[in-house]
Amino acid sequence: MVNTKINLCGTEIDNPVIPASGTFGFGYEFAALYDINVLGTLSFKGTTLNPRFGNPTPRIAECPSGMLNAVGLQNPGVDKVISTELPKLFKVFDKPVMANVSGFSLEEYVETVRRLDTVERIGWFEVNISCPNVHGGGMSFGTSPEMAERVTRAVRDVTKKPIIIKLSPNVTDITAIAKACEAGGADGVSLINTLLGMKIDLKKRKPLLANKTGGHSGPAIKPVAVRMVYQVYDAVKIPIVGMGGIASAEDVLEFMLAGATAVEVGAENLVNPYACRDIIAALPEAMEKYGIKNLTEIIGGAH
């Protein structure tokens, strides 16, 4: 009998598979398809202080072995998430959930986390620091170790719940960002967010996405993600949530051997809405195939 349980920042969950924010809505939408309580947990749609309509269309583009998206953090704002979206989720999901938070200033991150902190069923905060800091010349929080540490410290001051900082791969050295987050009090890091990409419309002779650039996700980015998880594991002592092109139970094992404690499944949910359920169901057989009795024993096992 294999054991798929893992401990994520102090909370034991049934398995390491988590739908990634932005690819699973607020969760309850998928409950019409299958019992989402099979999930380890879920990271619900990225939430900002104020409502956001998102970017103009087109904002999705297919590409070989993946996709580009420039949705632009469309969400109803934190107050509506608390009053409307989370009650719907809690009717169909009985486990702690992960709140994905985005912001455009230090103050927005802090206030959004402060309001969500009142929701008892939120077990972790996943703080997305790859959004532009418009109060700092447009620089992204996630591309500067100093800014990454600042936002981590600021959020740390308003919650006692575990904070997992979501890192951007669009940097020269992701380990420097991860170390800064650890120094700022992060309980964990999640990586990688999407890689910056572009697609040109040959007929119109201009970028296909209205935003011009978008985030590249899917199987094509998996080797980059595995490499970065491996590097960050050697650089920090806090847990890692790995993501980037995960589509099978074998992918889960690969990320855990690289150093991930848990994983997030993103683009695959948009291709196959049953992806997370199917990966979880296949995990015990994959573990037996590779002689793994307890998942926690293989974390960082490739080092």
CA–CA gap between residue 211 and residue 70 (Å, rounded): 7
For the chain, the domains span: 6-298
Secondary element (H or E) of residue 246:
none
Predicted local confidence at residue 141, as pLDDT: 87
> What is the mean pLDDT for each group of 10 consecutive residues in the chain (303 residues)?
97 98 97 98 97 94 94 95 98 98 94 98 95 49 93 97 96 97 98 96 97 94 98 98 98 99 98 98 98 98 98
Predicted local confidence at residue 139, as pLDDT: 52
Catalytic residues: 131
Q: Does the 6-298 domain belong in CATH 3.40.50.2300? A: no
Given a contact cutoff of 8 angstroms between Cβ atoms, the answer to whether 85 and 27 are in contact is no
Predicted local confidence at residue 178, as pLDDT: 98
CA–CA gap between residue 233 and residue 236 (Å, rounded): 6
Given a contact cutoff of 8 angstroms between Cβ atoms, the answer to whether 11 and 1 are in contact is no
Predicted local confidence at residue 208, as pLDDT: 97
Contacts for 78 with CB less than 8 Å, ≥ 6 apart: 47, 48, 49, 111, 112, 115, 116
Token pair 């997992």 is found at 164
The pTM of this model reads 0.96
Predicted local confidence at residue 284, as pLDDT: 98
